Structure 1
Amino acid sequence: MPIGSSGKTNSALATAGPGRTTGPGGAIRTFKGTERALRADRIGTPGLLLSVLAASAPLMVVAGIMVTTYQVMGIVGQPLLFVALGVVMALFSVGYAEMSRHVHNAGAFYAYIARGLGGTVGAGASFVALVSYSIMQTGIYGMFGFEVSALLERYLGASVAWWIPALLGVAVVGALGALKIDLNAKVLGVLLLLEVVMIVIFDLGFAAQPGPQGLSLHAFDPATLGGAGLGTSLCFAVTGFVGFEQAPVYAEETSRPGTVVARVMFLTVGFVAVFFALSCWLIGVATGPDHVVAAAGEHGPGLIFTLAEQRLGTLFTDVLHLFFVTGIFAAMLSCHNVVARYAFAMGREGLLPAPLGRTAKASGAPALGSLLQTVLALVVVTAFAVSDDKPAGDPTAPVIHLSAWAGNIGAFGVILLMATASLAVIVFFVRRGAGRAQAGRLTASGLAALALLAVLVYGVKDFDILVDAGEGSVLGWLLPSLIGVAAVIGLVHGSLLRARKPAVHARIGLGNEAFQLDKAAGASAPGGADAPAPHKESRP
C-alpha cells in the first residue's frame, strides 16, 4: 500500500479488534454483519472488465451517439474528440484508481468524496449518483422498447407498442439484478463480446470499401473541430465513456480489489478511446469525410445499418439489428447493477432506509436495492407509456424523449461527480500529509477536474440542444436542475444527520469494514492494530 506503511497519516480511526474502529471521541462500528456485506471474491478482472464495458454500450454509442453528433452538430472531427476525452479520462483515472486502492465501498463516488470532502458533501454526492444512474438506466428502457417493437414489426409483421417490451425488459433485468454478480457478469460478457465482434466486422467492411475519398485521415485534423457545436459534441462524446467509472462499485465483490479495480479502469478507458475513435473515423471513411454530415442527416441512426448492408449484405444487417438490441439490454443490466449497489451502500450507512442495506442470503446480491430500481423504472416507463397518445399523435415521441432526456441528465450528473471526485482525491491525500508523495497523481486529478468542469459548463449552456428541447425551452433548465435538486436534498440530509445523528454521519463513506489507510495506521502504531490513532480526524 503506497500510503500508511510509513505511518504518515492524520487519520483518526484505527482498527480496534474485528469490525470496530476507535478514536478519542468513542467507537464507530464499521462492521454490521455479513448480511450488510456484499459477497467477496465473486468477480475477477475479466468479469469486471466485461461488466463495466457493457455499460458503455458500444453498438448503441456507434449507431446512436456518433451518428447523431454528425447529424446534429456537423463536427467532422468527432473521432479526435474521443482521443482528447480519452486523455482526460485517463488523467481522471490516475487519482480515482489510487483512491480505489484505499476505499473498498460499493458507494464508490460518494464514498471517495466523503473521505476527501466530508460526510455532508458525500451525502450530497450519494443522492446525485443514485439519481443520475437511475435516470440513465431508465432512459435505456425507452430505446430498448422501441428497437424490439421495430424488430417485431420488421420480421414478424406484429405491431407491438414500445412500452410492452420495455416493461418486459424491466422485469427481466430486475430478476437478474437480484442474482449472483458472477452470473450477471457471464450474461454481460457474452452479450458484449457479440456486440464488439459485430462492430469489428462492419469496421473492417468500411475500411475495405471506403467512400469516394478513400482512407482519409481528415477527421483527425484539429481544424475539423471548429464550429458552434463543439461543446455539445464533447458532451455527447462523454456519454460514450460513461461506464468505466463504475468499476469501484464492485470493489467489495472482486478478488484483490486494490489491484483489479484500477487495472479494469485503465483497460476500459484505453479500449473505449481507441475503439470508439477508430469506429467513428471509419463511419466517415465509409461515406467520405465531406459527405458524412449529409449522410447522417439523411439516414439518422439507420446510417450504420445502411452502410453495413451495402458492404456486407442483408443477412449481416439483420443479425446486426438483433445484437443492437442485446447490446442495449446489456447496458440496462449493467447500469441496474450499479444503481442497486449505490442504494445498498446508502442503506447500510444510514443515508437510505436500513432494509436497503441488506443482501439476499442466497445470492449475496443487494436484492432490495435491485427491487427499488425496478420499481422506479416501472413507474417512469409507465408514465411515458401513458403519455403516448396513439394513434392520433406521434408514437415515437415519448420513447425518444425518454431516451434523450434521461441519458443526458444522467451523463450530466456523472460529469459533476467525476469533477467533484477529482477534487476530493486531492484534498484526501494532502490532508494526510501525502501531497508530495502523490504529486503526480494529484496533478493529474487537478487537470482532469478543470477539463471536466469545462465540459460541464458547456453541458449546462447547451442543455436544450442535448435534450432536443428547442432554444429557450423551459426543459433546458428544468431537466438539469433535477441533478441540482438531488444534490441539495443530499446536502440537507447530510447536515441533518450531522446535527441529529453524528454517529451515523461519521460512518458515511466507511462501508462495512475499516478504511484501508486507517487499518494501516493502526497496524503501524505502538500496540499494533488495537491501538487508537493519535489524531482526531477532521471531517468537513
Structure 2
Amino acid sequence: MSSSPPDVSAVLARGRLGTWAVVFFVIAAAAPLTVVAGGATTGYAVTGVRGIPVAYLLVAAVLALFSVGYVAMSRRIVNAGAFYTYITRGLGRPAGVGAAFVAVVGYNAMQIGLYGGFGSVLAGFLADRGMQVPWWLCAYAAWAIVAVLGVLRIDLNGKVLAVMLIAEVVVALVYDAVMVTHPADGGVTVDTLSPSHLLAAGIGAALVTAITGFVGFEGTVVFSEETKDPRRTVPRATYLAVAITGLLYGASAWAMSVATGPDKIVDAATADGTDLMFNLVSPHLGSELVTIGRLLFITSLFAALLSFHHTVARYLFALGRERVLPAALGRTSRRTGAPKTGSIIQSTLAALVLAGYVLAGADPIMHLFFWVTVTGGLGVLILMTVTSLAVVVFFARTPNDDGLWRTRLAPGLATLALGAILVVTVEQFDTLLGVPTTSPLRWWIPASYGITATVGLAFALLLRTLRPDVYQAIGLGAQSATAPLRTPEPVHQAAR
C-alpha cells in the first residue's frame, strides 16, 4: 500500500466521544422536534391513521429487540461501517457490499431530503417576520455550514448538537404538558394509544413513518471507532437513544391527539401541517415560548442534517479504507481526525441534488423533504432487517458466551418483526407517498434498492476476480488499513 500523504490518516480520531456525546449525535440525527412537529403530524395527515402514537411505541419496542443482537455484535466488531461490516461478517462479502451501497443511498436520501424541510421551514419563519427569502437560499446556507463543520473535529460537532438537542427536548416536553393539561373534550383520553389501531388500514404507512423518525439511532456503531470505550459506550448509547426517542415520540403524538380530540386529530393535522403543535400551545403560552419552539424546530432540522452528513462520510470512509471504493475516501485529516474526502463528496452531491430540485421547480416539502426522507427510511429498514439476520448467522458460526437470548432469540425475533413491517410497508407505499395505487412510484422506489443491492453484489464479485486482495479485506475495518492486504485472514474468518 502506498504511503499516505502527510496531512491525512487511515484511522479515525480515537477516544473523543463518550456515551452522552454519541447519544447526542444519534438522537440529533433522529431530530426529535422535527419528528414531533413534522413527522407525527405528517403521519396523521397522510396515512389517516389515528394510531400514530402506538405505532411509535411499537417500533421502539421492535428496535429495542433489534438492539440486543446489534450491540452484542458491536462488542466483537468495532468498525465505522456498521451495517455494512455486520452483514459482511454474517452473510459474506458480496452481501456486505450490496448492503453498503444501499446504506450510502439511504443515508444520503435522509440527509439531502432534510434540506427541503429546513429551507421551507426557515423561509416560512422569515416570511412571517417580513423577510422574503427563497427556500433554496435558506437550504444552501445550511449546506455551507454543514460542509464546514463536516471537516472539523467530531467532538466540536458533538458540543454543537448537545446544546441544540437538550433545548428541543425540553421544549417538546413543555409543549406536551401544555397539550395534555388542556384536553379538547375536557378529559384526557388514551384512545390513540390503543393497540387496536395497529390493525387499521394504512398501518404499514404509519409504521414506516415511525421507523423514519428513529433513523439515526443505529449510528452509535458508526461512531464506535471514535469512542473512549466501544464495548461499553455503544451499547449504553444505543439503548438510551431508543428509550428516549421512543417515549418522547409516543408521548408527543398522543399529547397532540388529546389537545385536538382523537376523532379530530387527522383533520387538524391535515389542515395545520407542521404548525399544528405550535397552534395548539400558542393560546396557553407566551409568544416568546412559541417563537423559541419554532426556532428549535429549525435547529432540529439543522442538527439532523449535520448528524446524517457525518454518518454518510463515515460509510464512505469505511468503503474507501478497504478500497472497495477509491482509496482517497479512506483517508482522514490528521489535524481534525474527520473523514475529509467523504465529507466533501457528500456535500458536493447534496449541492447538485438541491440544484436539480430548484431547476425543476419541485415542492421542497412534498417532493424533497417528505418523499426523499421516506425513501431513506425505507433503505434503513431494509438494512436493519438484513442485519438482524446477519447477527443470527454470525453467532451461529462464532464460538461465544453471550447467551442464547442475545445471539439467537432476540435477533431472530427482530428479523421476523422487521421483515413483517417491511412487507406491509412496501405493500402500502402508495399510501405513504400519497399517490394513486397506479403510480409507478409505489414500486419504483422500493425496487431501486433492489437494483442498488444487486449492483453492489455484482461489484463485489468483480472485485473477487480482478482484485482478490481487496476482496479479502472487505469487512476488516481498521485492519485493512494497517495489515498487509496480500496476507488476508482465511476466508471463513473474514466472512464472519
TM-score (norm 1): 0.86
Moved more, 246-255 or 267-276: 267-276
Equivalent residue number for residue 191 of structure 2: 218
Once residues 223 and 289 of structure 1 are traced to their aligned partners in structure 2, the CA distance between those partners, rounded to angstroms, is 14
For 2:381, which of 415, 440, 455 is the aligned residue?
415
In structure 2, the CA distance between the partners of 1:85 and 1:399, relative to structure 1 (3 Å rule), is closer
- For residue 425 of structure 1, report the CA deviation from its aligned partner: 0.6
Please give the residue correspondences for 1:389-468 in structure 2 after superposition, counting only pairs within 5 Å: 397-434=363-400, 437-468=403-434
Is the CA contact (8 Å cut-off) linking 1:143 and 1:399 kept in structure 2?
A: yes
For 1:174, which of 147, 152, 157 is the aligned residue?
147
1:344 aligns with 2:313: no
Runs (5+) with no aligned partner, structure 2: 482-487
Identity %: 43
Moved more, 285-294 or 303-312: 285-294
For 1:200, which of 142, 155, 173 is the aligned residue?
173
Is the CA contact (8 Å cut-off) linking 2:472 and 2:491 kept in structure 1?
A: no
Equivalent residue number for residue 35 of structure 1: 9
- For residue 75 of structure 1, report the CA deviation from its aligned partner: 2.1
Once residues 307 and 259 of structure 1 are traced to their aligned partners in structure 2, the CA distance between those partners, rounded to angstroms, is 41
1:237 aligns with 2:210: yes
CA offset digits 1:127-183 (Å, max 9, x no partner) = 11111001110000011111111111111x122211111112111101101000000
- For residue 305 of structure 1, report the CA deviation from its aligned partner: 1.2
1:539 aligns with 2:495: yes
Once residues 362 and 181 of structure 1 are traced to their aligned partners in structure 2, the CA distance between those partners, rounded to angstroms, is 11
Equivalent residue number for residue 437 of structure 2: 471
- For residue 534 of structure 1, report the CA deviation from its aligned partner: 9.8
Once residues 147 and 260 of structure 1 are traced to their aligned partners in structure 2, the CA distance between those partners, rounded to angstroms, is 35
Secondary structure of 2:282's aligned partner: helix
- For residue 315 of structure 1, report the CA deviation from its aligned partner: 2.4
Equivalent residue number for residue 10 of structure 1: none
Matched residue type, 1:70: Y
In structure 2, the CA distance between the partners of 1:41 and 1:306, relative to structure 1 (3 Å rule), is same
In structure 2, the CA distance between the partners of 1:286 and 1:513, relative to structure 1 (3 Å rule), is same
CA offset digits 1:65-113 (Å, max 9, x no partner) = 1112222223222221222111110110000001011111111110011
1:288 aligns with 2:265: no
1:510 aligns with 2:493: no
Once residues 507 and 485 of structure 1 are traced to their aligned partners in structure 2, the CA distance between those partners, rounded to angstroms, is 24
In structure 2, the CA distance between the partners of 1:534 and 1:313, relative to structure 1 (3 Å rule), is closer
Once residues 77 and 257 of structure 1 are traced to their aligned partners in structure 2, the CA distance between those partners, rounded to angstroms, is 37
Equivalent residue number for residue 485 of structure 2: none
For 1:353, which of 326, 336, 344 is the aligned residue?
326
Is the CA contact (8 Å cut-off) linking 2:475 and 2:494 kept in structure 1?
A: no
In structure 2, the CA distance between the partners of 1:507 and 1:217, relative to structure 1 (3 Å rule), is same
Equivalent residue number for residue 393 of structure 1: none
1:72 aligns with 2:46: yes
Equivalent residue number for residue 110 of structure 2: 136
- For residue 533 of structure 1, report the CA deviation from its aligned partner: 9.1
- For residue 469 of structure 1, report the CA deviation from its aligned partner: 3.0
1:379 aligns with 2:352: yes
Once residues 356 and 491 of structure 2 are traced to their aligned partners in structure 1, the CA distance between those partners, rounded to angstroms, is 53
Once residues 183 and 200 of structure 2 are traced to their aligned partners in structure 1, the CA distance between those partners, rounded to angstroms, is 26
1:322 aligns with 2:298: no
For 2:83, which of 95, 109, 114 is the aligned residue?
109
CA offset digits 1:357-404 (Å, max 9, x no partner) = 00012101001100010001000000000011xxxxxxx724420111
CA offset digits 1:30-70 (Å, max 9, x no partner) = x9998100010011111111111101111111111111222
In structure 2, the CA distance between the partners of 1:171 and 1:224, relative to structure 1 (3 Å rule), is same
- For residue 348 of structure 1, report the CA deviation from its aligned partner: 0.5
Q: Which of the two has higher C-alpha Rg?
A: 1
Once residues 334 and 323 of structure 1 are traced to their aligned partners in structure 2, the CA distance between those partners, rounded to angstroms, is 16
Equivalent residue number for residue 94 of structure 2: 120
Is the CA contact (8 Å cut-off) linking 1:429 and 1:438 kept in structure 2?
A: no
Equivalent residue number for residue 147 of structure 1: 121
Is the CA contact (8 Å cut-off) linking 1:109 and 1:125 kept in structure 2?
A: yes
Runs (5+) with no aligned partner, structure 1: 1-28, 389-395, 516-531
How many aligned positions are there?
488
Matched residue type, 1:420: V
Secondary structure of 2:284's aligned partner: helix
Equivalent residue number for residue 3 of structure 1: none
For 1:262, which of 235, 248, 269 is the aligned residue?
235
Once residues 441 and 213 of structure 1 are traced to their aligned partners in structure 2, the CA distance between those partners, rounded to angstroms, is 49
1:186 aligns with 2:153: no
For 2:55, which of 73, 81, 94 is the aligned residue?
81
Matched residue type, 2:224: A
Point out 4+ residue stretches in structure 1 off by more than 6 angstroms.
Answer: 31-34, 532-535
Once residues 253 and 291 of structure 1 are traced to their aligned partners in structure 2, the CA distance between those partners, rounded to angstroms, is 47
User: RMSD of the alignment, in Å?
Assistant: 2.2
Secondary structure of 1:480's aligned partner: helix
Once residues 491 and 300 of structure 2 are traced to their aligned partners in structure 1, the CA distance between those partners, rounded to angstroms, is 50
Once residues 355 and 510 of structure 1 are traced to their aligned partners in structure 2, the CA distance between those partners, rounded to angstroms, is 18
Matched residue type, 1:171: A
Is the CA contact (8 Å cut-off) linking 1:120 and 1:505 kept in structure 2?
A: no
Equivalent residue number for residue 25 of structure 1: none
Once residues 283 and 185 of structure 2 are traced to their aligned partners in structure 1, the CA distance between those partners, rounded to angstroms, is 14
Once residues 463 and 225 of structure 2 are traced to their aligned partners in structure 1, the CA distance between those partners, rounded to angstroms, is 25
Is the CA contact (8 Å cut-off) linking 1:235 and 1:458 kept in structure 2?
A: no
Is the CA contact (8 Å cut-off) linking 1:78 and 1:225 kept in structure 2?
A: no
1:161 aligns with 2:117: no
For 1:489, which of 435, 438, 455 is the aligned residue?
455
In structure 2, the CA distance between the partners of 1:400 and 1:77, relative to structure 1 (3 Å rule), is closer
Once residues 535 and 116 of structure 1 are traced to their aligned partners in structure 2, the CA distance between those partners, rounded to angstroms, is 12
- For residue 213 of structure 1, report the CA deviation from its aligned partner: 4.5
In structure 2, the CA distance between the partners of 1:424 and 1:202, relative to structure 1 (3 Å rule), is same
In structure 2, the CA distance between the partners of 1:308 and 1:534, relative to structure 1 (3 Å rule), is closer
In structure 2, the CA distance between the partners of 1:499 and 1:312, relative to structure 1 (3 Å rule), is same
- For residue 291 of structure 1, report the CA deviation from its aligned partner: 2.0
Is the CA contact (8 Å cut-off) linking 2:53 and 2:249 kept in structure 1?
A: yes
Matched residue type, 1:491: L
Secondary structure of 1:41's aligned partner: coil
Moved more, 325-334 or 306-315: 306-315
Once residues 288 and 213 of structure 1 are traced to their aligned partners in structure 2, the CA distance between those partners, rounded to angstroms, is 10
CA offset digits 1:157-216 (Å, max 9, x no partner) = 122211111112111101101000000100111111111111011111112222214221
- For residue 485 of structure 1, report the CA deviation from its aligned partner: 2.2
Moved more, 62-71 or 187-196: 62-71
Once residues 381 and 287 of structure 2 are traced to their aligned partners in structure 1, the CA distance between those partners, rounded to angstroms, is 39
